[in-house]
Amino acid sequence: MSERTLVLIKPDGVKRGLIGDVIARVERKGLKVVAMDLRTLDVDTAKAHYAEHSERPFFGELVEFITSGPLVALVLEGPRAVEAFRALAGLTDPVKSAPGTIRGDHALEIGENVVHGSDSPESAAREIKIFFPDRF
Ligand code: IDP
């Protein structure tokens, strides 16, 4: 059974030239890229994407960061794609993330952890609708 997940290569990842590295890991794993777009988010889209964090103290910072420059939005497809990409990404805190994961290899700060991946198939469906409203 195939599943879809929404992945973002966040502005820090794009700025640091990590688009190719992230996509190479995804493809090496066997996940398929079925949509891809480089864009800079407006504040409303960023707030909608991170709505579940709206009451958190770091929400303002999060929205400011994710709108700070171009990001790459991807839809990946494959068996257990949500879980498969989260395993590639590593933990939210890059310092606690194992070497060999995207965050474990490339980041030190929670706020600048290179990638986003949906945390459940339900979140994936919601997030894919935000980023690619007409595609799926
Ligand atoms: P996830 O991206 O690993 O699913 P979430 O808990 O959904 O992690 O948090 C969303 C994003 O918010 C994280 O990727 C991280 O960049 C940022 N974030 C989470 N906790 C903090 C924090 O305590 N300070 C600053 N940013 C945070």
Question: What's the CA gap between 44 and 122, in Å, rounded?
Answer: 21
Q: What is the mean pLDDT of the chain?
A: 98
Q: Ligand 1, atom 8: nearest CA belongs to which residue?
A: 92
C-beta 111 within 6 A of ligand 1: yes
Q: pLDDT tens for residues 10-29?
A: 999 999 999 999 999 999 99
Asked if residue 30 belongs to a domain, the reply is yes
Asked if residue 136 belongs to a domain, the reply is no
The complex's ipTM works out to 0.96
**Domain encompassing residue 91:** 2-131
Q: Tell me, what CATH number does 122's domain have?
A: 3.30.70.141
Number of domains in the chain: 1
Ligand 1: atom nearest CA of 10 is 16
pTM: 0.98
Asked if residue 43 belongs to a domain, the reply is yes
Ligand 1: atom nearest CA of 113 is 16
Question: What's the CA gap between 54 and 33, in Å, rounded?
Answer: 29
Q: Which two tokens stand for residue 108?
A: 């030190």
Asked if residue 77 belongs to a domain, the reply is yes
* Helix, strand, coil percentages in the chain from 3-state DSSP, rounded to 5: 45, 25, 35
